[in-house]
Structure formats: structure tokens, C-alpha cells
Amino acid sequence: MTLRPGETPGRAIAVFPFLKTSEPIRLGSFTFRSTDDVSGLDMDDATHVREISEMLFLQDELRIRSASYALLPVLDLDNRDCAVMKELECLQAMVGYCYSAPHPTLGKPFFYFEQASLALFSPEPVPIFLLRPEHHVMPASPTPPLTQDEWHRVIGYQGRYNFRHPFWVARGSRLYPPVPHIGLNISQDLASNLGQAFTEAPKHYLLPQLLLRGANEPTDRVLTAIQWYNRANTASEEDDVAIIHLSVALETLLGLPRDAKTDRFVDAVSLLLGRIERLNLWAEQFYAARSDVAHEGRTERLRFIPVKAKGSADGLRYQSLLAYGRQIFQLCVGALMFGAHLAEHAGLRAKLVTNQERFEVVCKTLDNDTLGPADRFAAIEETVALIDEFRFVAEEGLRLDTMVGAVRRGARTLLLCEDLADPILKERVESIAAAPHTADCFEALTAIQALQDLKTVPLGEPRSPRWIVRRLADIVWQYTFFQYYSLRDQKQKK
């Protein structure tokens, strides 16, 4: 960073230099528009978009007519762990993945990953020696003078190319592709292509959900696999290196063990795509080529041999092993995503959890002092809803002290975050919070029963802490009221 105390950068801008769009398209949290479109932007943002657009060159003196951009919040480009940077990396991986779809016959990717290069620009002062180095260079044409401040900085942009490569530019600078030649496809249109892929293509239409979900093991695994797959589709890598990257992508996606990869790979793909004739031959040859590269640094076995030729030890070579691998990978991603979608739609994950476990989660969350009281209630809202949904399922091991403990903790936390204006409600919540711990939990159940009898006090706004506590108390009461009345009758008889 070249900022001085008190200085702040402008809003950052993300640009796909080699992908144009005919209209805005929403990708995750960001809306990408054509650099021709600055409508609705304030003066500073519009100026930045125009200046950046004029820096994008394809080759020689040829400037790219339009690109796709999105406005971002202020960013520290050195912090790749921030939420915005992480989402942008996932977004770029998805865009590159969709555009790398292999040709159905020849197996070549439609675009290499460099076509989906992403450049980030942060408007801030830039040291002039980074813009105009002097050692062993000479200008090919007259360069306009730059006005420096007292710290030898000029108004410009700090940038990152594909999140890894830093660059510094100012008005009049030129930014060229990361490889010597990138063609601009005539029909390419970000809005149309991705809109079609995400609505019609069976392999891709669930991909946008990866950007909307929180981090979890299946999502992270698919995204990591896609990033490795993209590395196998770069124009700068040889095929033997791409074999390594694609094998990592497949192993990550399918969760293959360290040993017996070929057999387990065939089994995993067969479960997803069906038992396909000669798939085992391709897998054996693919992993043989991978082994050559991993252990010897190179391989001559980059093409598929479907049948052995008579009188030949090797057989007749056919299409590239990578061509098949790219198609198999994308089909597996689609199958896994659809399977996960079906399981999620059916609520399978929730059905495999008991209410005893959910009550324990509620107790643990409400005891978490690192969260504010209101945040604790927000964290348990969904869990309480699931407890309610599954309370009629027969369950062994559901403990009375855990259920009552959840309500007691809820009452204590409610008193920390809400000023209960109704004196009767406040008194009854305090009674639950202060109920002693006993083996039969009778005092706590009595306090919960008293809260149940208080029908005149409103439940509160839906999803509010008061509403969640009342709902939790209702659930526990439905579980325990038989036990409460039985205990009461026994105590009265004594």
C-alpha cells in the first residue's frame, strides 16, 4: 500500500478484460456491466471505469473496445482472505470453468482459462518509479508527463492480475494479456452465455448456488476441484503438466484415497455416470501418464489407446487423454451438484440429526460468551425450527435436563438483550432463569408451565429473541407436560 495516514483508496473495480457483455448480469454479490455503460455511477466511479477501459489492449496498438466490470467496496488487495476477495476468486473460477467447456467431439476447451483473466484496480496514489522504470528501457513514443506529489507518487491504480500478479497503472497506461496472444471471440457475451449456462445446461445450472452458500465441506471441495481443473486448461501449460492438474481436480472432486486411485476412480465415476465401457481403459492410461509425469518428469503416453493393434505392443493411438478427462470431470461436477441438490431439497442432512443433538447445540450456543446475546438467538433460530419440525419423531435418549437447560439458558440470555416491559412476563422469565437444578427438573417445569399459561402477552416480533424463547418453551412443554403433571400428582400425594 502506498497510502499515507488519513488517505483512503476509492472503490475498487473488477474487470474481465477479454469478456464482453451486452447487458448487466448478476454473479454472486456483484453485477457485471459493459465498460461502455457508466449510467448511474457518480463522477469518480465513472471516471475510473473510463480510464481503466482505455488501458485495456489486446496487442500492439489495438485497444479492446469493451470489457465487463463490477464496482467493489474499498479493498486491500494484499488481503486475499477477506470475504470479497474470496468470492471474486470463486466467481472467476466458475466463469473460467463454464467457458472452458470442452468441444463435444474434439474435446478442446472453448476458451483457455487466460480468457477469463480478472484484473482488480484500486484507485490510489502510485509511486512513479513503478509506473516509469528507468533502468535499461527507452520509450517507443513520447510519453505524457506525470505530476508527482511530495512523496513521488501520481494519481493511479494499484492492481492485481488474477489475484497473484501485482501491477501499477495510471491514466494512459496499457495493460496487455497475460499470454502473448488471446483471441476475442465474436459471439462471446457474458450475460447471454452464462445466463444460458445457468438456466439450460444440465452440467452448469446449479453452479451459482456455490457462490450463495456458506463455506462447507462439499462446497469447498467442488470449488477447489474446479480451480485445479482450470489450471489444466491454461494456454501456458504443456499437456503433461495439465495431466497432473486434472488428476488433482478429479481426486479432489471425488474424494479418492491415496492408494488404489484407478479402481476407486472407475467405481466413483460409474456410480455418478453409469458403467461405461472402456472407461477403465482410459482411467488406467490416464493414471499411467500421470505417474510418468510425477515420477519421471515427462510422458509420451498422452493419447488414448482403445484397442491393441495386431503385432504391436502399444496399440493405435486415438484422442487425447485430456480431452476425455475434461468431459468426464464436467459431467461428474454436474452429477455431484444435482445429487447434492436433491439431498438438500429432501432435507436429508437435517433428518440424520436427533433432537437431543439439536438441544445440545442450543445449549452450547447460548453459553457462547464470544457472541452477543442477540447474535446467539440468531444462531439458534434455525435449530429451534428443526426441533419443532421433528418433535413428533420417536427418539430414544432425549434427556429432560438438556431440554429444560435449553429453555433456562434461553431465559437468561433473553434477560440480557431485552428489557421486558410487561412485569408478569418478566417475572415468569426470571423464574425460569433462576429455577434450581434438580434431578426431576420439577421447579423448572413449573416455571415453564406458568409461562405457558401467560396467553395475554404477545409473543413478540417473529424471529425476535422473545419469540424464539417462547417457541423453545412451547416445544419443551409439549415434550414434558405429561411428565410434569405426573410429578405434580406424586408430590401432592406425598
* Residue 65, phi then psi, degrees to nearest 5: -65, -45
As a whole number of angstroms, the distance between CA 182 and CA 234 comes to 12
Q: What digits encode the pLDDT tens for the residues 394-439?
A: 999 899 999 999 999 999 999 988 877 778 888 988 999 999 888 8
State the pairing for strand pair 25-27/13-16.
unpaired
Residue 122's SS3 state is: strand
Contact 468, 383 (CB under 8 A): no
Residue 398's SS3 state is: coil
Predicted local distance difference test score (pLDDT) of residue 275: 87
- From first to last of its 494 residues, what are the pLDDT tens digits of the chain? 567 776 778 899 999 999 999 999 999 889 999 999 999 999 999 999 999 999 999 999 999 999 999 999 999 998 888 989 999 999 999 999 989 888 888 888 888 999 999 999 999 999 999 988 889 988 888 888 888 888 889 999 999 999 999 999 999 999 999 988 888 999 999 999 888 877 766 667 677 776 666 556 677 888 899 999 999 999 888 888 999 999 999 999 988 877 667 788 888 888 888 888 888 888 888 988 998 998 988 888 888 888 766 555 567 888 889 999 999 999 998 888 888 878 878 888 889 999 999 999 999 999 999 999 999 999 999 999 999 999 999 999 899 999 999 999 999 999 988 877 778 888 988 999 999 888 888 899 999 998 888 766 666 678 889 899 999 999 999 999 898 888 888 888 87
CB atoms within 10 A of CB 165: 11
CB atoms within 10 A of CB 139: 7
Diameter of the chain measured on Cα atoms: 105
As a whole number of angstroms, the distance between CA 83 and CA 65 comes to 31
As a whole number of angstroms, the distance between CA 424 and CA 401 comes to 25
Cell of 220: 469447498
Predicted local distance difference test score (pLDDT) of residue 92: 94
As a whole number of angstroms, the distance between CA 271 and CA 405 comes to 45
Predicted local distance difference test score (pLDDT) of residue 67: 96
